[in-house]
Amino acid sequence: MAIPVTVRRYAGVVAAAAILCAGVALDVVVRQSGPVTALGGQLRADALSAFMLTVVGAVGLTATWSGLRVRPNPAPTNAYAVLVVLFLGAMSLGVLADNLGVLWVAVEATTIATAFLVGHHGTRRALEAAWKYVVLGSVGVAIAFLGIVLLYAATRSAGSPTLSWATLDATHPALDPSLVRLAAALTILGFATKAGLAPMHSWLPDAHSQAPAPVSGLMSGVLLSVAFYAILRVQAVAAPVIGTGLMRGMLATAGLLSLAVATLLLIAQRDLKRLLAYSSVEHMGVLALAAAIGGPLAISAALLHVLGHGLAKSSAFVASGWILETEGTTRIEDLRLLLRRRPGVAVPFLVGVTALLGLPPFSLFFSEVAIVVAGVQRGMGWVMAATVLLVLGAFAALARRVAVIAFGSSADEPEQMSDSAPDWSTPGPRFPLGVALGTTAVAGFVAGPFAAVLTDAARVLGGAG
């Protein structure tokens, strides 16, 4: 069955644009008239779901639109087009479901949709990455499912079997604390695997480096964030029963460990896409710390971080795909002085990385500062001190590696440089990357309605933390 070329080219873009519009519309509706439900309560959009849906749409649009080629060939294959749409659909279902079980099914479905996308290039490396990704991803979320089953058993023995967080939040059944403790620990452990938190991160750099660039952008920008969203939901359900101590300990440990692992592996990284992948581990570590802190400030900042990281990381991944296409390699050593030779692909990459480094004016700077401030306010001073040190370490490591691309070393054959004019062309449309990075740059300053969206979304999680 052949899908027409035009449909194949634009299916992902149209799907992502539709999700973005639906997300923004839901943001507006939810702010005016409260949560919206559909399908007899199976789907429910509150402020948090609407915000996450907007992020899925925005990052999806950045990745799919800028993934379009300027030249019409090669058009994506049938399978690629279908799987990208399924992937976007599964993530939308995940954030809209009002049922931990359905959320789980959607997260597992993203593994299924992306398995062949990771193995898309058909090389040995792609195959190895796809195998590790599917096995580790499925086993990880299987642990989460065991936790969800135990939570369901706890609600059943309390007299009202349910997996809906709206119901649990409204009725507060008397759940058995020791069972909920076990359930929460298993669920968070499982979803943390999918979110790429250390020490369960080993699939992430392989999968991200082998997938086609737009897919890497989608996986890093939203798949990890949807898994993080699942952690937030579980935390909000479990916190009223067992308090926050256990989950705070787990998340803070995983967060600091992720920061440490990412910093160590960034220092000597030789591959551009793996560099971006370990930067994702770092940012997920920051998010895990924000979840550990809890409370309105930390969670609002975490959501801003999700948006900023999603847009910046997908832009950087798409640009790394352009670099691979024009230079034929992603080995950092071979990309010296790329900024002078091919500024067309180097500039969007470097701007994206600057945003990821957490430099102002990009919103990641403000969200990281806000998370640290929230942590100090909540008495996690020592953890925050370690966080700041590790984030600075990761900053130095990442900056040192990408500096090679921008400046190279002084000994880099200057005669080779002079023979051609800088190449400003790009293999894909520049406009979406400009919009994405521009949004990241201004999001930190836009107060008013946007800040209210974030605080409303954070308030959904109630007194979690």
Partner 1 sequence: MSETTYTQLLQLSAGLLLLCAVLIVWRRSLGAHIRLLAVQGWALAGLVAVLGLHEHSAELLWVSVLVATLKGVVLPAVLARATASDRTRAREETPLINTTAALLAVSFLTMLAYLVSRPVLALGSTAAVAAVPVGMAMALFGFLVLSTRRHAVSQLIGFLLLDNGIATVAFLTAGGVPLVVELGVSLDVLLVVLILRVLTSRIRTEYGDADLDDMTELRD
**Binding residues vs partner 1 (CB under 8 A):** 42, 99, 101-102, 104-105, 108-109, 111-112, 115-116, 119, 124-125, 127-132, 134-135, 138-139, 142, 145-146, 148-150, 152-153, 156-157, 161, 163, 176, 178-179, 181-182, 205-206, 209-210, 265, 268-269, 274
Nearer to partner 1, 102 or 373 (CB): 102
In whole angstroms, the minimum distance from the beta carbon of 372 to partner 1 comes to: 28
Contact 384, 376 (CB under 8 A): yes
Alpha-carbon dihedral sign for residues 270, 271, 277, 279: positive
* Residue 450 Cβ vs partner 1, minimum distance, rounded to whole Å: 35
Q: How far is the CB of 29 from partner 1 (least distance, A)?
A: 25
* Distance of closest approach, residue 23 Cβ to partner 1, in angstroms: 23
Compare residues 149 and 435 and give the one whose CB is closer to partner 1.
Answer: 149
State the nearest-atom distance from the C-beta of 106 to partner 1, in Å: 8
Minimum gap (Å) between residue 146 Cβ and partner 1: 5
Give the pairing type, strands 36-38 and 43-45: antiparallel
Block residue for tokens 């306010």: 377
Task: Output the CA torsion 16→313→54→13 (10° steps).
Answer: -10
Cβ distance to partner 1 smaller for residue 209 or 315 = 209
Question: Closest approach of Cβ 39 to partner 1, in Å?
Answer: 10
For residues 402 and 408, give the distance between their C-alpha atoms in angstroms, rounded to a whole number. 9
- Of the pair 148, 347, the CB lying nearest partner 1 is at 148
Closer to partner 1 at the Cβ: 209 or 258? 209
Task: Give the nearer residue to partner 1 in terms of CB position, either 131 or 450.
Answer: 131
447 exposure class (CB count in 10 Å sphere: 0-12, 13-18, 19+): exposed
Whole-number minimum distance, CB 378 to partner 1, in Å? 29
Contact 239, 371 (CB under 8 A): no
Q: Which of 377, 374, 358 is nearest to 444 (CA)?
A: 358
d(CA 365, CA 372): 11
Q: Closest CB to partner 1 among 104 and 349?
A: 104
**Closest separation between CB of residue 234 and partner 1, Å?**
15
Nearer to partner 1 by C-beta: 186 or 287? 186
Q: How far is the CB of 229 from partner 1 (least distance, A)?
A: 18
Residue 374 CA to residue 24 CA, distance in Å, equals 28
Neighbours of 9 (CB within 10 A): 18
For partner 1, the closer of residues 177 and 463 by Cβ is 177
Question: From the CB of 239, what's the least distance to partner 1, in Å?
Answer: 18
> How far apart, in whole angstroms, are the C-alpha atoms of residue 462 and residue 311?
27
| Residue 130 CA neighbour count, 13 Å, CB half | 19
Instruction: Name the CA radius of gyration of the chain, rounded.
Output: 21
Q: How far is the CB of 104 from partner 1 (least distance, A)?
A: 7
Query: Helix 363-377 and helix 272-293: axis angle, to 10°?
Result: 40
**In this structure, which amino acid lies at residue 63?**
A
- In this complex, which beta carbon is closest to partner 1, that of residue 65 or of residue 278? 278
In the bound state with partner 1, the residue whose beta carbon lies nearer, of 240 and 296, is: 240
Q: Closest CB to partner 1 among 42 and 377? A: 42
